[in-house]
Structure 1
Amino acid sequence: MTWHVDAEDLRAYAQGELAPPRLWSADTHLLACADCRARLAAVSDPVALDAGWERLDAELDVPRRGLTEALLVRLGVADHVARLLTATPVLRGSWLTAVVLVLVTTVGVVHTADSPTFFLALAPLLPLAGVALSYGPALDPTYEMAVVSPVHGFKLLMIRTVAVLTTALGLNGLATLALPAYGLRALAWLLPALALTTTGLALASRLGPVLAPSLVAGAWVALLATARASGDGATLAPFTAAGQGAAAGVAVLAALLLFAARDRFDLSHRSAV
């Protein structure tokens, strides 16, 4: 050792008053210098010194916030909510990249076929798939940690759902901007997307977070196939004015059923851990 912590810094360190970066330098030096540790023991209260080391360990072990989590906290989101939001499995680069590629390919097909039907059929399924992948023991690697957190199961589901819907609907909206020639028709996916998502969530309280969205997605595909087979016009029934009204009604009804079954999420999912 070519230097040692001076006596004044040792006293400040022992009293918990030494500020960074001198605190960090003293910590590093004390780990390697037995003489300074002996001098520190002579000028410090053992109880206060142990408390200081515990505080240092806690500061070193605390998880570092990512960019998104730090931004959410700055916007006023509670720390634990921001952590649950950023831990949502689908809000990762691989899933987001896949969704972007699907939407870009779909927009390209729409321009080639000169019809928005394919985009309108696919866009409502993306939020539903995102919600299905955001909550459940089979798909969420952080499921056990999230479920045992002091948060109501329904609230946890809603936090994850808001994160997914904000992202998926935002990406769908950007894809819609790439179809300016179709005007408001290009937004006909929005109400079906809300209807499918709320229905999937309402059924998830009884069928689980995987089976329920799968059945809803299958029903949506079957509905489109039936509309295609029986329709005479270029616009499928779910994207007509009547179809949009029906989608809004289904969304409202499913939301009411979801709220009525909110306690089932807390009981069923916590018991699965």
Structure 2
Amino acid sequence: MTGWHAPDRLIAGYADGSLPDADAWSLEKHLESCASCAGRVSRAVRATAAGPVLTDLRQAVLAAAPQAPAAEPGPLRAPRLLWAAAPAVRGAWLPAVLLVALGAVLLAHVADFSGARPLLLAVAPVVPVAGVALSYGRHADPLHELAASTPSAGLRLALVRTAVVLAVSLPLLTLAGVVVPSSDAPGAAAWLLPGLTLTLAALALGGWLGLRAATAVTGGGWLCAVLAPVLATPDGAVSRHLSDQLSLYVGGGAAQGGWAAAAALCAALLAARRTAYDRLERH
């Protein structure tokens, strides 16, 4: 509950459907914690032409399920959050994260492969990018058409699923880097800023290209930049050249500072283009 309450003009626009999406999202967020405004919105909607229809529908639902308990706003938040985040952790992406992490550990400790950490650091930044591509859109969510028609869709929903992807992949892959020994590769956490930057870049480009195309551009661009020079080396010392390449891209304060600046720029661009997600994959 806050000291601010929605003005009548805002509530009237929400009730008759004329309120812009951005204002509707803001009002819906406020209604989650303000019972007074929620009651005013309910009364305003009932006063519109749709009011009698909604009343009849509510009575029909209650008649069909008389034992259903009254829903509380607080307990509903967890199921709603799980519904919003579910596509980010289902399907093949989560096993792929585990495969990358465990594969690097097994290569280092079982196969005694000295290039396990450089290889992990090369692949890790594209893992969350791929997770974002696989968690948002009609290809990822059977209910996407329904979700995309609500004020909570668009960038807000994409960011919720991106946060889940990052929360899963960042600790797993960083922990794998810690337990994989390496004498010359950058530290286990050196990929975090590049991974975050590539994810933000994919989200920002998604407003123009669509999310899947944007993730292909950013993730593919990173892999080409890191792996192409290494594979082209004539002496075949792939592990050493990969470590050198990664040290150039992610090692040291200057490189990390550049990634931090790029992440801030991508975040600003994403904020400026946030309304593009209102129309993304709705048709």
Q: TM-score range by the shorter chain?
A: 0.5 to 0.7
Q: Note if contact 1:110-1:119 (Cα within 8 Å) is conserved in structure 2.
A: no
Summarize deviations over 1:155-198 as a string: whole Å, max 9, x none. Answer: 11111111111111122133233236669711111111011101
**2:162 counterpart of 1:161:** yes
Tell me if the contact between 1:107 and 1:119 (Cα under 8 Å) persists in the aligned partners. Answer: no
Counting matched residue pairs gives: 210
Provide the residue aligned with 2:189 in structure 1: 187
Q: Does the alignment pair 1:244 with 2:256?
A: yes
Equivalent residue runs for 1:167-178 within 5 Å = 167-178=168-179
* Alignment match of 2:102 (pick from 104, 111, 124): 104
Letter in 2 for 1:219: G
Cα distance change on mapping 1:106 and 1:219 into 2, 3 Å: same
8 A contact 2:88–2:162 mirrored in 1? no
Aligned to 1:205: 207
CA distance in 1 between partners of 2:67 and 2:136 (Å): 30
- 1-structure distance, mates of 2:242, 2:102: 26
CA distance in 1, matches of 2:161, 2:77: 14
Alignment of 1:119-158 (within 5 A): 119-158=120-159
Greater RCO, CA 8 A, separation 6+: 2
Partners of 2:67 and 2:178 lie apart in 1 by 46
Q: Measure, in 2, the Cα distance between the counterparts of 1:261 and 1:52.
A: 42
Residues 1:235 and 2:244 aligned together:
yes
CA shift at 1:125, angstroms? 1.0
Structure 2 unaligned regions, length at least 5: 1-58, 234-239
Give the distance between the partners of 2:249 and 2:194, measured in 1 at CA: 8
Deviation at 1:81, TM superposition (A): 3.0
Cα distance in 2 for partners of 1:233, 1:96 equals 26
Aligned to 2:120, the other structure's residue is in SS state: helix
The residue correspondences of 1:30-69 to structure 2 (distance < 5 A) are 54=62, 57=65
Q: Structure 1: which amino acid aligns with 2:157?
A: L
| Structure 2 match to 1:45 | none
CA contact (8 A) 1:120 1:189 kept: yes
SS at match of 2:211: coil
- Which amino acid letter does the alignment assign opposite residue 262 of structure 1? R
When structure 1 is superposed on structure 2, of 193-202 and 91-100 the one drifting more is: 91-100
CA-to-aligned-CA distance 1:101-147 (integer Å, 9 cap, x gap): 22211222244222321010011111000001011123322211221
How far the C-alpha of 1:148 sits from its partner, in A, is 2.0
Question: 1:28 matched to which residue of 2?
Answer: none
The 3 A distance-change label for structure 1 pair 218 and 97 is closer
Percent identity, aligned pairs only, is: 35
Shift in alpha-carbon separation, 1:196–1:110, aligned structure 2, 3 A: farther
Q: What letter is aligned with 2:213? A: L
- Tell me how far apart the structure 2 counterparts of residues 82 and 181 of structure 1 sit (CA, whole Å): 38
How far 1:79 moved relative to its partner?
A: 4.8
Q: Which protein shows a greater Rg? A: 1
Question: Matches of 2:100 and 2:187 in 1, distance apart?
Answer: 20
Which residue number corresponds to residue 223 of structure 2? 221
The alpha-carbon deviation at position 265 of structure 1 amounts to: 0.3
- Is 2:271 the partner of 1:259? yes
The one-letter code of the counterpart of 1:216 is T
Q: For the aligned residues, what is the CA RMSD? A: 3.3
Q: Which residue type is aligned with residue 218 of structure 1?
A: G
